[in-house]
Structure 1
Amino acid sequence: MNKFYEIYLDLEKAILNQTYHAGTLLPSENDLAKVYHVSRETIRKALVLLLENGYIQKKQGKGSIVLNVNRFDFPVSGLTSFKELHDSQNLKSETIVTKNCIEKISKKLANHLKISQETEIIYVERQRKFNQEVVILDKDYLLTSIIPELPAEAAQNSIYDYIEHTLGLTISFAQKEITVDPATKKDHELMDLNGDTHVVVVRSDVYLEDTTLFQHTESRHRLDRFRFVEFARRRSPM
């Protein structure tokens, strides 16, 4: 591993562990070079990686300012359950299930999914709590023709784990839409928005391996706590 990358990882860890707090300055290039026993050029390469990954902002005459990274990364194109994300990023969170019931699908959602308005769905509503604040409100709509029931334990822990390992179904792909919407009355009631007027909303239509639609999700996020990430590679023009 290149020395500058090792230094980048070490500084990244220090920022995430809040050894260096948001708004404070990293030590100067000279000081870091002495600490790590490397050249300033090696330190500069490590700082460039921190800059590109959103950990610091360079300010002329001041140095490297640590940015607020108390956010959670949500992959845009991936199909990952909250529990899987929770485990992979070691998030300290609490899930509160506020609803888990069978009801008729709404006219608006039936039209969106192009299915009958007589369709029954399981509606699951869950608050995601971090540091004593509810910053996500998840709404899941499961077609009862595919998922006849959802035990309370599955709603609390992982719907996808229940579908794949208990029901033996294979979840394959989703079509996603990400928007910034005005916060609703329910958002204000069930989330700690701290005066925010808008939320980030991720809507997904989710399909099984045989292309059967089984779920629509609506995940509503507080603006200041999340960043949505994706890897993009430029393709050469034809």
Structure 2
Amino acid sequence: MIKVLLADDQSLVRSGFRMLIDSSDDMETVGEVENGRDAVAAVKARPVDVVLMDIRMPIMDGTEATRQIMSLGLDTKVLVLTTFDLDEYVFAALRNGASGFLLKDALPEELLGAIRAVAAGDAVVAPSTTKRLLTHFAGMLPKSTPEEDTRLDVLTEREREVLVEVARGANNSEISQRLYMAEGTVKTHIGRLLSKLGARDRVGLVLIALEAGLET
């Protein structure tokens, strides 16, 4: 059973999410909070698999709350929720360790699917809104060139090709088709990229690729 914490300053929004989540057979709501400070406290107090984190809240916003939750070293994942698909706060939350983001008006099945994905250790990076977000804010990064960023030196040429596709928002099936390799091989390359680059998930790989100036 996936344990979900709701962090949103609007009670009606929390109620709607709770009804949706609790109607699913494989997940349950284990708490509701109305600000980031209380979200951090709730995660410290009891096991939580996924935090549905509103990005703009009083007292402590979702960006700082995400940073503090990630610093705890727990298995808790953060899925950011926002009403704006190009929000600089969301970008900061991704850099702080969030596993992805969704718009609040996402379809119910999209939200439940995203919760399952991040709980399983995947990242929600496929939606076009995420691609636009990363593209929009790529220019804000302390960008270098692939020659200057030594992190990429450990990669093989094939791993670099896979990293480029990940940074473009491609899923495993799309990478398989574009690079003419089996999906199992793609998964192996993704695993090696995560290990070699010290990234938590695909979002982390995207950010590293952009920071390194890898052409996407």
Shorter-chain TM-score range: under 0.3
Bigger CA radius of gyration = 1
Higher helix fraction: Structure 1 or Structure 2?
Answer: 2
Question: Structure 2 length normalisation: TM-score?
Answer: 0.25
